[in-house]
Amino acid sequence: MKKRYVTIEEAENSLSEVRESLKKIMKLSENISVLQSVEISYDNEYDELFTETKTNHEFHKLSSELHRELHKLIKIGCIVRDINVGLVDFFSRFEGRDIFLCWEMGEESISHWHEVSEGYETRKPIFEIYNEEQ
């Protein structure tokens, strides 16, 4: 799939959809973790086989749903960086180079950005881009 670049406005406009997808992804991830952590002892081979088959089916179903949601976000132009906190980056361009518009669950709007080669720790206020573009 080709990388999709978005403007600040396009990223802002997609935030409600991104929020909903992230909520689903976070819940699915939590359910997968719980499913993987369950240990059951069995009285016989049939019960073990039946339960393992059912558990594997549920695991794959949840994983498939999670990947569908991740793919939906990629189509928007967004990469999930941390499922647990709901941290995402949007591909964008500034002064002829790739950058990331950075957003995390709980923030009202996109207020930060960072270089592609850097991460969350180096986030800069978005007004730096707005001020330089004007």
Segment 79-97, tens digit of pLDDT: 999 999 999 999 999 999 9
Radius of gyration of the chain (CA): 19
**80 neighbors 22 (Cβ within 8 angstroms):** yes
User: Whose CA is closest to 13, among 56, 57, 77?
Assistant: 77
pTM of the shown model? 0.80
Measure CA of the first residue to CA of the last residue in the chain; give whole Å: 33
Q: Is the pLDDT of residue 23 over 90?
A: yes
Token pair in block for residue 111? 């207020």
**92 neighbors 101 (Cβ within 8 angstroms):** yes
Question: Would you place residue 102 in the very low, low, confident or very high pLDDT band (cuts 50, 70, 90)?
Answer: very high
